[in-house]
Amino acid sequence: MPISSQDMLALRLNAMHAVLAEDADYTLRFICRWYSERYNTPLHLVATPEGVVDLEEVLQTFYETRYAQMTDPEKEKEIALLLRTPEEERAEARKADQDEAENWGFAKMIERQAHAKKAKEAKAEAKRLEELKLKQQAKIAGDAPQGDRPVGAPVGRPQPPPVQAPRGPRPPQAQGQGNALDAATVDVKKGSMVNTTLPEDVKVVFMTDEEMAKDAACMDPFSVERPKQPRKKGWKPPQSKK
């Protein structure tokens, strides 16, 4: 008779349950299979109505063989188990169930602790990577975090306030000395703010247009050290010698 997939699944589940529970039916079938293999007897002839070996003979042979292989301490323990009363058997069964429940609870607790530890390590690693990323960004910006400044604070050095450079007359300058302020001279409106790279104690003064024109008229275009002399009326350039 063919067996459907559902029947096959049910048989497999029943077989697994019998192996785990080790009930009386499973034990009896196990002993019959052992006797069939041990004494080379077909299984359908062992402990069956049409068989040649009675069930009592099969069980007697099995337990005699098993007990004969035990040591003396193992035999004494087996005797204590065989002489238990029904109340003692039920008490031991309850204790076994309790121990199994405690072991299950302990295993679950260990699993929860391992999961919490793993989550904590993952969080610490994420924080470390974030701090490393911020430090790299600060290094790229040219100002890595230093001192007690918290990581992630705005980077960069504070810029000094702009210097207000009012316009006015420029102080006299010694002959032969270059003007250090000419490079910083710009055309700005009165009262405007100018950012310079000069020290803070240097006062920047700008010339007016009239002063710059008068100063340019008195300077020799070929020398910045010798002032240009005014020409007299009727002056003529000397003739070159031929």
Weakest mean pLDDT among 87-91, 103-107, 136-140, 229-233:
229-233
Of 103 and 193, the one with more pLDDT? 103
Residue 182 CA: distances (Å) to CA of 38, 105, 165, 167, 206:
117, 87, 14, 14, 9
| CB 30, CB 19: distance < 8 Å | no
Looking at residue 152, its pLDDT comes to: 53
pLDDT at residue 183, as a whole number: 45
**pLDDT for 89-111, tens place per residue?**
888 888 888 888 888 888 888 88
Q: Give the pLDDT mean for 66-83.
A: 91
C-alpha 166/C-alpha 203 separation (Å) is: 9
pLDDT of residue 33: 92
Q: Write down the pLDDT at residue 180.
A: 46
Give me the phi and psi of 204, to 5 degrees please. -95, 125
78 or 50, which is more confident: 78
Among 28-37, 99-108, 205-214, 229-238, which is the least confidently predicted range? 229-238
Instruction: Decide: helix, strand or coil at residue 193.
Output: strand
What does the domain layout of the chain look like in residue ranges?
8-71, 104-141
Q: pLDDT-derived band of residue 214, with 50, 70 and 90 as boundaries?
A: confident
Top-ranked range on mean pLDDT: pick from 1-5, 43-47, 143-147: 43-47
